[in-house]
Amino acid sequence: MKWLVIPAMLLLSDACGTDDKAVSRDYVNPVLHADFSDPDVIRTGDDYYMVSSSFNCVPGLPVLHSRDLVNWQIIGYGLRRLEPEDHYSEVRHGGGVWAPCIRYHDGEYCIYYPDPDFGIYVVKSADPAGPWSAPVMVMRGRGLIDPSPLWDDDGNAYLVYAFAGSRAGVKSVLMVNRMNSDGTAVNDEAVMVFDGHDDNPTVEGPKFYKRNDYYYIFAPAGGVTYGWQLVLRSKNIFGPYEKRVVMHQGQTSVNGPHQGAWVTTRTGEDWFIHFQDKGAYGRIVHLQPVRWIDDWPVIGSDDDGDGTGEPVTSFTMPGAERTHPEASLQTDDEFNGTTMGLQWQWHANPSLTWGYPSESYSCFRLNCIPEPDSTQNLWRVPNLFLQKLPATSFTATALVKFNLRHDGEEAGMIIMGQDYQYISLRKEEGKHMLRVVSCTDANRGAAEEVIFSSVAETGDLFFRIEMGKEAVCRFSYSTDGKEFHPAGAPFTARPGIWIGAKIGFFALREGFINDAGYLDIDWFRIEKTE
């Protein structure tokens, strides 16, 4: 049976009716078991839009759409390429797009995003699916992160943000600047509105809101892995702010439940979207109910009534009755179209020669492009064609067709992170060698190790990677798509820098030639196995 890859398993509640058009259902967390880090969400009408961090991956700033806050699908990207263009022609692990914020103001959508090495930018669009405008620098400065705008009732505009200690040399404080009316530039000196050093270290990721004459800043603290969700409130935008921890891990298994967005449905229900760091799987997305008590939000379940909630495992879906068709996160690709699927990203600004879709040939072609100079492994290789891991356990299978023209050309299927492993075909002394290659501590320059090698008799192969719990992967291959042969040892995936491990393809060669070989990916399919 072929399963939808989206991990928001929908369960019939005890109150289910028999009308297919209006069935009461519960959802189960996480609603997205995929690496959509630092999610921010807004609602316009009956539609919800999410943005998340994308770091060095291109295209950047993914935009997702939902009708129910549970089922999500990628609809576009805020950035087709990263700027500065030349800087991001090379792989910049951990750089690029950090925690963004999406808002709808004055008839248009705007996304504020930080690049910790350059400053805070904004892009705008009339349609969240794009196209989006070129980035405009709102505030220049190294180490500025996590911006969130607020347009007050009197029309004045403000921007709250934080510092990345790795770039700025300071952290654990939140700042506010005034902005011009269209939100494209700050126009005065910064004001510190909160210092978290004493009991809320590494406070960051602020989101600005206003409710019942209070200004609210929702901000996580304590660090990604073991932190908590803090909320600040004041009747003066520059403070002083009261503080309260409104959600923590408590007795649950959901570590670091923070960094997200408060959103209200059309019917007045309040919800909070946030991430959980899950190692190789990345930062997966949860949905929590929100109650307001004495103008303080309580997120999740607060059984002891102390005002600090804990993440829920499941809950009644927003709106109680589900009438919208399910949207599934894109994973499979038959490569029959004229555009690159929205699930795929490169590790840097791409060159046209890296690869392209072909409707005529029903494939995506990856050309064997020269590796960067002095490369011992794939860590600095930009032309990796990758997507996020979609579930705890799954099987990914691809039909790949090779045309390796010269010795030293190699192409294959990979699980990529700080450690990686791939299955490939490489041409050596005129022969096609089927290989499994592993690398531990690639980010530290470690060399690759060949753990399996065999002569291949054909250039058309089925490659398969099976991922089980704890991110343990097993590689295999087939010549007929029916009988698969294990190859190499099991491999435990490891995250990249600020991103989860990813799955996809590569095609490389040693040195430049005027007519390189290539890999045609005929199709790629994922079956959820948990």
Peptide bond into 100 cis (omega under 30): no
In DSSP terms, 309 is beta-bridged to 247
Dist. CA 377–CA 380, nearest whole Å = 8
Q: How far is CA 379 from CA 86, 164, 368, in A?
A: 19, 24, 17
Strands 369-370 and 502-509: parallel
Asked about 441 being catalytic, the answer comes back as no
243 contacts 230 by C-beta, under 8 angstroms: yes
Choosing from 26, 38, 277, 466, which is the catalytic residue? 38
367 contacts 518 by C-beta, under 8 angstroms: yes
Dist. CA 517–CA 409, nearest whole Å = 7
Please identify which residue in the block is written with the tokens 């990529």. Answer: 416
Dist. CA 342–CA 64, nearest whole Å = 10
**Cβ-based neighbours of 234, under 8 Å, separated by 6 or more:** 193, 214, 215, 240, 241, 242
Choosing from 26, 115, 204, 310, which is the catalytic residue? 204
Q: How far is CA 391 from CA 285, 388, 439, in A?
A: 12, 9, 23
Dist. CA 439–CA 493, nearest whole Å = 11
337 contacts 478 by C-beta, under 8 angstroms: no
Q: How far is CA 519 from CA 366, 382, 399, 466, 477, in A?
A: 5, 17, 10, 21, 16
Dist. CA 53–CA 528, nearest whole Å = 25
Closest residue by Cα to residue 516 from 369, 358, 364, 332: 369
Q: How far is CA 239 from CA 45, 188, 192, 214, 293, in A?
A: 32, 17, 9, 11, 21
Helix, strand or coil, per DSSP, at residue 469: helix
Determine the distance from the C-alpha atom of residue 217 to the mean position of all C-alpha atoms in its chain, rounded to a whole number.
Answer: 23
Dist. CA 81–CA 249, nearest whole Å = 37
**Sheet holding 108-115: strands in order across?**
101-105, 108-115, 119-125, 136-140
Q: How far is CA 313 from CA 30, 50, 163, 303, in A?
A: 8, 21, 32, 14
Asked about 371 being catalytic, the answer comes back as no
What is the set of active-site residues?
Answer: 38, 204
